[in-house]
Amino acid sequence: MEIKKLTDYLWEIPQSGGMRVPGRIYASADLLREGKLDESLNQVKNVAHLPGILKYSLAMPDIHWGYGFPIGGIAAIDASAGVISPGGVGYDINCGVRLVRSNLVIEDAMPRLRSLVTHLFKRIPAGVGSEGAIRKLKREEVSAVVAKGARWAIEQGYGSATDLEYMEEYGCLPGADPDAISDRAYARGAHQVGTLGSGNHFLEIDAVAEIFDEPAAGAFGLFQDQICVMIHSGSRGFGYQICDDYLHVMEKAMRNYDLHLPDRQLACAPLGSPEATAYFGAMYGAANFAWANRQVMMHLAEQAFLESLAISPAQLGFRLVYDVCHNIGKFEEHVIDGQPRRVCMHRKGATRAFAPGHPLVPPAYRSVGQPVIIPGDMGTNSYVLVGTAAAMEQTFGSSCHGAGRVMSRHQALKEAGGRDLCGEMAERGIIVMSTGKRTLAEERPEAYKDVTRVVDVMHHAGVSRKVAKLRPLGVVKG
C-alpha cells in the first residue's frame, strides 16, 4: 500500500480506485511501523468509499482493526447526500469515559487504598453479564432511560443536575426513539444500568502525577497529587444488541438502495431514509443508556469513598470533570473548505476535541477548550488533554481515545500463561480487583500500544494538547 509522509505525525493513503477521498493517519513513524496495521489501513481505504464522505477518511494513532471502520476511525459524511454506517459507530455504542476529581490527595487515600478498591468492587458490578447495581428496570423505565439519558439517573437520586453541564451533549441526545429498539435489547438492558461490564472497561482510582498546562488544569479543577476517579464503560448488552439488530437492517438497505462498498461490514443506508432514521432513534437511545449507566456508577463510586474513608461529601468533594463518547454517530457543523457544512460525524474509538470558544464546550471551560480524556490500559498512565483550533481544522474536532491494541485478546490470553498479573500490578503499587483472571490476561499492558507515545502524536500534531498525566493506584476490572 502506498503511504505518503506529510509530516512527522501525519501520513496519507492517496485516493485511488473507488476511494472518494484520501485516507489520513496520525502516527509517528515507529507507531506506524510497529502497529501491525495492514488490515486497519485497508479499512481506512474502505471507509473512503462511503457516499458523501468529505475531505479524508481519518485514523488516530491508536488505530487497530475493528468491524467495518477501524477502531480509531473518523469520517465526516455530508448530511444531505451521505449515509450512516453502524460499523462507524461500533457495537459498544457510546463506550466512553468520565473523569471525576476530588478534594483528596494521595496521603488521604493510601492508608485505606485496599479498602477503597474493595468497596468499589462490591458496589459496582463488573464482568460479563454483570447485573444488580440497582434493581431490574421495567420496560417503561428503560424507555425513560432511552429518552432522558443521564437526567433519568439524576431524577432517581444518582448525582446532581449540575453534572449534566459537564457531559458531551449534556448527557442526552434528543431524538432517541424507544419504539425503534427491539424487545431483545430491552431484555438485555433491564438489569445493566450501573454495571461496568468486561473487556477493556474499568473503574480506576488515579493520582495526578504531572501537570503540563497549568491554566487548563486549573480550569478543569486538577492539581498535583490529587485523587481522581476514571470510569470507562458504555451501553453494555443493550447497545450491542441494537448494533447487531441494525446491521441486518442495513445489509438489506444496501440492496434496496443499490449501494456497493468493498466491505459488507460497512453496510449503510442513506441519511433521511426510513432505515437510517430508525437506526438513529435506536442508537441515540443506546448512547443515552450509556450516559445513565456512567452517571449511576459515579454515584456508587462516591458512596464507596464516603463509606470507606468515613468522611463527609463536602470533605470528599466529588465533582465531574467531563464525560466523553468514544463510539458515536451524530450531526455537527464544521467549516470545510471555508464553508460551514452540516455533517454526520462517525467517531469510532475517537474522542471529540472541540476548541476554545466553541459553543458546545461548557462555559467553565470555554476559554481553554474541551477536556479530552484518554485512558491508558490496565496499570498504565492516563492523560487529560484539551481540544485545539487545529483539531477543528484538521480532524473535525476529534482526537484519539486510548492506547489501541497491538495484540488480539486470544493472543494476549495465550501468551499470559500462568502469570500472576494481580501480583505484578501490586509490585508496581497498583491494587487490582477483577471478577476473573481471563480479563486480566486479555487486558495486560503488553496487549496495547504505549499510551504516552499515542498521546504525544496528538500533542505534537497540535490536535489536542497535554494538560495532565494520571497514574493508577487501584483498578476494578470485569
pLDDT in tens, 201-230: 999 999 999 999 999 999 999 999 999 999
Q: What is the pLDDT of residue 35?
A: 63
Instruction: Report the sign of the C-alpha dihedral through residues 462, 172, 174, 182, in that order.
Output: positive
Q: How confident is the model at residue 136 (pLDDT cuts 50, 70, 90)?
A: confident
Nearest to residue 197, comparing CAs of 229, 236, 231, 239?
Answer: 236
Contact assessment for residue 139 and residue 190, using Cβ atoms and an 8 Å cutoff: yes
Instruction: Report the alpha-carbon distance of residue 99 to residue 230 in Å, rounded.
Output: 5
Residue 368 has pLDDT above 90, yes or no: yes
pLDDT of res. 439: 76
Which position among 64, 334, 346, 401 bears the catalytic label? 401
C-alpha cell at 426: 501490586
Query: Which three three-digit cell numbers place residue 220?
Result: 478543569
- Cα torsion 237, 349, 371, 8 to 10°: value is 170
pLDDT in tens, 278-305: 999 999 999 999 999 999 999 999 999 9
- Domain with residue 290: its CATH number is 3.90.1860.10
Q: Which of 64-68, 79-83, 413-417 has the lowest mean pLDDT?
A: 413-417
Distance of alpha carbon 16 from alpha carbon 462, whole angstroms:
28
Number of domains the chain is built from: 1
Average pLDDT estimate for 24-46:
89
Domain with 352, as residue range(s), is: 4-477
Is 64 a residue of the active site?
A: no
What DSSP designation does 75 have?
E
With a cut of 90, say whether residue 1 has pLDDT above it: no
